[in-house]
Amino acid sequence: MGKMADRIEALTRAALRLRRMPAHERSRVLQGVSDRLRAAREEFAALLCREVRKPIRDARREVDRAVFTFSWAAQEALRFGGEWLPLDHDQASEGRFALVRRFPRGACLFITPFNFPLNLVAHKVAPAMAVGAPFLLKPAPQAPKTALRLGELLLESGWPEEASAVVPCSNEEAEALVRSESFAVLSFTGSAGVGWRLKGLAGRKHVVLELGGTACAVVCADADLAWAAARCAVGAFSYAGQVCISVQRILVEAPAYEEFKRLFLEKTRALKAGAPEEEGTDVGPLIDSAAAARVEAWIQEAVSGGARALAGGERRKDLILPSVLEDVPPGCRLSREEAFGPVVCLERVASPAEALGRVSEGAYGLQAGVFTRDIKTVLCAWEEAEVGGLIVNDVPTYRSDAMPYGGVKLSGTGREGVRWAMQEFTEPRTLVLKR
């Protein structure tokens, strides 16, 4: 731990230097990272494909998103400001006003998962750089090379060496870092069980948790069913469902159920399952055999409980074929817990109101999608669905890297998205002046 302690001490010392680093310099470095990522697109895509078995087309899309994330952070570094407040609301405060400015809280600790080992890292690293906060990144054990290579790009772009550290380490070492009082912020993306446990170890740190969910798509009878079916197939099975906002449950209004099911199964069966390095692959293997065995067991549990497998359900080593089940008993894990695999449950509902009730009844609340042409349904869903984000006429899997993103209930606390993460990593400080 001696070497680790030295790195943490260097981060602490770097905090004051970074706070004084002009915004235009931070912006220049961030844009440099973006430019270098764009130039190394194929290198990083191949690395993602090898490390986490991401289909090569999806890997390229992840690199493109990271290019945007760093570029957007470069712009936000120039826009991020404060607030002027008049204070002459009563006689005693005449002639006074306040300036509110946000300062970095201190050194940040970032812990990231395997499924987006480049762009989910970017969602923490880029906002920290934009506000001038030093950080230590503990990447997923399945993808250390991607994080280490990104760390090299930061230094090549002019980020101070002492202001960041990429440290692949064991879970035990990571827990020691979480307990360390040298860090002012913990930002964790991963499973709910691990995230909430780490929050309990974090002490006085400001904690941001981006966790999982059982994302629902609601398909109303008035929806464009062909569009909804096509998008749900993408949202359910991209990267073999190893996405925290992957479509896991599709709630279809009864009059549209049979037609939607036909269209959705047609799209599902057209997906190509295969090796991640092959250009035509839509669905590749899961991250490892343990993950594949778990998903297979959950499917078998649901079928044993009375569910019907309409497609897939078959395991080929670490690959689970895209699987569609209906009549899944509510007590099954597929109904209650995050599957993190290529499996989706179809459910018939009598009305949009019933569907929204089902969206909100579980323990998670990350994002939901609703397909409808009725603005009243949209507004009702916005008010009633207990989720961090509602996506209209698209799947909950949609995410813009510029928007606020995060969940409620077991799905997390705090928000990401570049500007919102910048707020999480900083705290307001007020200056009161008198004429």
Reported as a single tens digit per residue, the pLDDT across 100-151 is 999 999 999 999 999 999 999 999 999 999 999 999 999 999 999 999 999 9
Query: Quick check: is 237 in a domain?
Result: yes
- Specify the number of domains making up the chain: 2
Q: Please tell me whether residues 354 and 389 are part of one structural domain.
A: yes
pLDDT of residue 191: 96
Chain-centroid distance, C-alpha 13: 30
Query: Quick check: is 405 in a domain?
Result: no
Q: Please tell me whether residues 328 and 363 are part of one structural domain.
A: yes
Q: Please tell me whether residues 295 and 387 are part of one structural domain.
A: yes
51 annotated active-site: no
pLDDT of residue 230: 98
Q: 27-74 pLDDT, tens per residue?
A: 999 999 999 999 999 999 999 999 999 999 999 999 999 999 999 999
Q: Please tell me whether residues 37 and 185 are part of one structural domain.
A: yes
Distances (CA, A) of 351 to 31, 219, 357, 374: 48, 10, 10, 13
Q: Please tell me whether residues 319 and 271 are part of one structural domain.
A: yes
User: Which structural domain range is residue 324 located in?
Assistant: 216-400
Q: Please tell me whether residues 420 and 301 are part of one structural domain.
A: no
Q: What is the mean pLDDT of residues 177-183?
A: 96
Please report, rounded to a whole number, the percentage of residues in the chain having pLDDT higher than 70.
100
Query: Quick check: is 278 in a domain?
Result: yes
244 annotated active-site: yes
Q: 335-387 pLDDT, tens per residue?
A: 999 999 999 999 999 999 999 999 999 999 999 999 999 999 999 999 999 99
Q: What is the dihedral of CA 378, 381, 383, 389, to 10 degrees?
A: -100
The phi, psi pair for 148, rounded to 5°, reads -65, -40
Structure tokens at 238: 């991209």
Q: Is 328 helix (H, G, I), strand (E, B) or coil?
A: coil
Q: Please tell me whether residues 226 and 107 are part of one structural domain.
A: no
Q: What is the mean pLDDT of residues 210-231?
A: 97
Query: Quick check: is 61 in a domain?
Result: yes
Q: Please tell me whether residues 69 and 124 are part of one structural domain.
A: yes
What letter represents residue 277's amino acid? E
Query: Is the per-residue pLDDT at 195 higher than 60?
Result: yes
Distances (CA, A) of 224 to 11, 256, 373: 52, 10, 8
Query: Quick check: is 165 in a domain?
Result: yes
Query: Quick check: is 136 in a domain?
Result: yes
pLDDT of residue 429: 97
Catalytic residue among 108, 216, 232, 244: 244
pLDDT of residue 19: 87
User: Is residue 291 within 8 Å of 299, Cβ to Cβ?
Assistant: no
pTM of the model: 0.96
Query: Quick check: is 118 in a domain?
Result: yes
**Helical spans, DSSP H, in 273-417:** 289-304, 333-336, 352-361, 375-384
Residue 400 vs residue 16, higher pLDDT: 400
Structure tokens at 122: 């970017």
pLDDT of residue 172: 87
The confidence band for 2, taking pLDDT boundaries of 50, 70 and 90, is low
Q: Please tell me whether residues 362 and 417 are part of one structural domain.
A: no
Query: Quick check: is 406 in a domain?
Result: no
Structure tokens at 138: 């503990």
Q: Please tell me whether residues 361 and 282 are part of one structural domain.
A: yes
What letter represents residue 125's amino acid? V
pLDDT of residue 171: 85
List the CATH number of the domain containing 67.
Answer: 3.40.605.10
Identify any residues that bridge with 187 across adjacent strands, giving them in sequence order. Answer: 110, 208
Q: What is the mean pLDDT of residues 242-258?
A: 98
Q: What is the mean pLDDT of residues 149-155?
A: 98
397 DSSP 8-state letter: T
pLDDT of residue 278: 97
pLDDT of residue 54: 98
User: Is residue 359 within 8 Å of 368, Cβ to Cβ?
Assistant: yes
Catalytic residue among 51, 62, 76, 210: 210
Q: Please, what's the b/e burial string for 136-149 (b: 16 or more CB within 10 A of its CB; e: otherwise)? A: bbbbbebbbebbeb
Q: Please tell me whether residues 36 and 181 are part of one structural domain.
A: yes
Q: Please tell me whether residues 153 and 275 are part of one structural domain.
A: no
Query: Is the per-residue pLDDT at 307 higher than 60?
Result: yes
Strands 185-189 and 164-166: unpaired
CB count within 10 Å of CB 200 equals: 9
The confidence band for 426, taking pLDDT boundaries of 50, 70 and 90, is very high
List the CATH number of the domain containing 298.
Answer: 3.40.309.10
